[in-house]
């Protein structure tokens, strides 16, 4: 069964038959977490780094922002039996326009904010594919923990 | 026949632009237009009228009593929203198709176009403190050239993709280098053929190169910004990805910072929900 994660949304599952998918990550980031023992996993597709940009939206939809979405993703996975020390973390997205000026670097800011949050919480990233000018689609298989990245024009590969 | 001629020739395979929607474009562009002029034009087109009423009665608007006529709709949802619905529904027949060259499945180019049009209203309010139906229209239609160019992009994809990856060209520059014309210029030619108002033609033609526009600079610049912001969000994002140029001059022209773009993006979902009903029709 495919669980689709929209933009600014997340899904967690412990159904071994489930695959969590999100489409067309541009500057947005997809962060997948998976506990191989509990067979619990989750995927967050956030759009922006900081909830201070729009606190009203953040209270309605914390998954829109890194600083409110990422903690929520981990909490939801713990609720299903996942444990922090076993969690494998993979990160995809954060693409950029062709731009040297720094006016359009939301992708980079999305990624840097995530690094900071994970660092502060002693969480390591096991695999990542970020930056560049491409859209990416990702899927996480809950049963196996396998994680796939598809890039327009370049096919799909496991991360 | 050379490639550019073949591309221009294939424009003739596009369906004709609906006369009613064409007339609405002209009305919208005229500042003297009243809301009733628009109702007058579309009320005799049953398909357009039925579509508009269906959208007005969708869950988003949450109207307690259903809308039964266009005049009724005008009173209840307002002129700007009515025009937005007419244009969005009225052009879906063009944008709803798949574009294989850009690896966009059916409906994705339309999603991108609608997201840009919604962004145009969020940005217009932010930088000009008012919404604009002309801006909405030009932004909605900016990628019309992709519909025709898609087949040619598909046939030459390796070459275009190679130029983007190896020579660091934008996708637009690689289209031009490979095919002799890019989707923005081609869109401008299509719009000319359909006899669109000049400002809308400019919005389409220069949406990636706003500094080349000799007039309608403001409209063109904002259309450009909406497109790059939508590309960043990934909505309806295809094989061209984010391979387009970010121009800081345009940001400075409006005194916008990256934080402002983030605020604009955070508002986008409300507008997308408004048209969600429309996105799933057809």
Residue B124: name the closest of B137, B109, B112 by CA: B137
- Asked whether the beta carbons of residue A153 and residue B161 sit closer than 8 angstroms, the reply is yes
State which residue of chain A sits closest to B228, comparing Cα positions.
A97
CB atoms within 10 A of CB A100: 10
Contacts of B239 in chain A (CB under 8 A): 152-153
With an 8 Å Cβ cutoff, are B241 and A152 in contact? yes
pLDDT at residue B245, as a whole number? 97
Per-residue pLDDT tens digits for B161-175? 999 999 999 999 999
CB-CB under 8 Å, A97 with B263: no
CB under 8 Å to B15, separation ≥6 — which residues? B93, B94
Domain ranges, ordered by start, for chain A: 2-158
Best B233, B235, B279 member to test A by mutation, with max A CBs in 10 Å, is B233
B window 149-168, beta carbon within 8 A of A: 157, 161, 164, 168
Q: Is the CA virtual torsion B60, B62, B66, B72 positive or negative? A: negative
Report DSSP state, residue B156: T
Residue spans of alpha helices (H) in A81-140? 106-120
Could you say which residues of chain A have pLDDT below 50?
Answer: none
Show the CA angle centred on residue A98, arms to residues A92 and B131, nearest 5°: 95
- DSSP secondary structure letter of residue B104: B
Q: Look at residues A27, A32, A34 and name the one whose alpha carbon lies nearest to residue A112.
A: A27
Number of domains comprising chain B: 1
pLDDT band at B280 (very low <50, low <70, confident <90, very high): low
Lowest mean pLDDT among B44-53, B176-185, B232-241: B44-53
Instruction: Answer whether A64 sits within 8 Å of B266, measured CB to CB.
Output: yes
Contacts of B40 (CB under 8 A, 6+ apart): none
* 3-state helix/strand/coil string of B1-29: CCHHHHHHHHHHHCCCCCHHHHHHHHHHH
Residue B67 vs residues B35, B62, B72, B83, B86: alpha-carbon distances, Å: 17, 11, 6, 16, 15
Q: Residues of A at the B interface (Cβ-Cβ below 8 Å)?
A: 7-8, 23-28, 47-50, 53-54, 57, 61, 64, 95-99, 101-107, 109, 132-135, 152-153
Residue B279, chain A, CB below 8 Å: the answer is: no
| Whether the predicted model's global pTM rises above the 0.90 cut | yes
- The domain that holds B162 is classified in CATH as 1.10.3210.10
Q: Is B72 exposed, middle or buried (0-12, 13-18, 19+ CB in 10 A)?
A: middle
Which residues of A does the annotation mark as catalytic? 28
CATH number of A2-158: 3.30.1330.200
Q: ipTM value, please give it.
A: 0.94
B101-154 pLDDT, tens digit per residue, is 999 999 899 999 999 999 999 999 999 878 888 899 999 999 999 999 999 999
pLDDT tens sequence across A117-132: 999 999 999 999 999 9
């Amino acid at each position: 069964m495919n669980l689709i994660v929209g933009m600014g949304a997340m899904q967690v599952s412990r159904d071994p038959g489930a695959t969590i998918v999100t489409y067309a990550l541009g500057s947005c980031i997809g962060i997948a977490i998976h506990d191989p023992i509990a067979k619990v996993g989750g995927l967050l597709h956030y759009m922006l780094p900081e909830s201070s940009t729009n606190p009203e939206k953040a209270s309605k939809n914390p998954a829109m922002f890194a600083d409110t979405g990422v903690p929520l993703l981990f909490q939801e996975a713990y609720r299903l039996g996942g444990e922090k020390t076993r969690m494998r973390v993979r990160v995809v997205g954060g693409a950029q326009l062709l731009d040297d000026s720094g006016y359009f670097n939301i992708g980079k800011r999305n990624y840097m904010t995530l690094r900071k949050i994970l660092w502060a919480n002693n969480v390591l990233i096991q695999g990542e594919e970020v930056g560049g000018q491409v859209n990416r689609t990702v899927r996480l298989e809950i049963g196996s923990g396998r994680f796939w990245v598809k890039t327009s024009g370049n096919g799909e590969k496991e991360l | 026949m050379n490639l550019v001629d073949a591309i221009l020739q294939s424009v003739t395979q596009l369906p004709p632009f609906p006369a009613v929607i064409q007339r609405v474009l002209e009305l919208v562009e005229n500042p003297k237009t009243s809301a009733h002029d628009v109702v007058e034009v579309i009320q005799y087109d049953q398909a357009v009228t039925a579509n508009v009423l269906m959208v007005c009665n969708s869950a988003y608007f949450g109207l307690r009593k259903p809308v039964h006529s266009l005049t009724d709709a005008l009173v209840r949802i307002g002129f700007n929203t009515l025009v937005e619905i007419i244009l969005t529904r009225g052009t879906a027949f063009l944008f709803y198709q798949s574009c294989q060259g850009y690896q966009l499945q059916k409906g994705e180019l339309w999603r991108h176009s609608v997201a840009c049009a919604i962004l145009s209203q969020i940005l217009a309010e932010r930088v000009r403190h008012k919404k604009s139906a002309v801006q909405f229209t030009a932004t909605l239609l900016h990628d019309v050239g992709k519909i025709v160019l898609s087949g040619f992009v598909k046939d030459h994809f390796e070459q275009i993709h190679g130029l983007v990856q190896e020579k660091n060209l934008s996708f637009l520059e690689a289209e031009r280098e490979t095919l002799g014309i890019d989707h923005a210029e081609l869109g401008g030619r299509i719009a000319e053929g359909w006899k669109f108002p000049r400002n809308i033609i400019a919005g389409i033609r220069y949406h990636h190169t706003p500094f080349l526009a000799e007039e309608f600079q403001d409209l063109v610049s904002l259309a450009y910004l909406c497109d790059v912001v939508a590309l960043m969000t990934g909505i309806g994002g295809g094989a061209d990805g984010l391979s387009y140029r970010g121009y800081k001059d345009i940001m400075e022209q409006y005194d916008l910072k990256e934080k402002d773009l983030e605020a604009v993006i955070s508002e986008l979902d409300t507008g997308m929900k408004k048209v969600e009903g429309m996105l799933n029709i057809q």
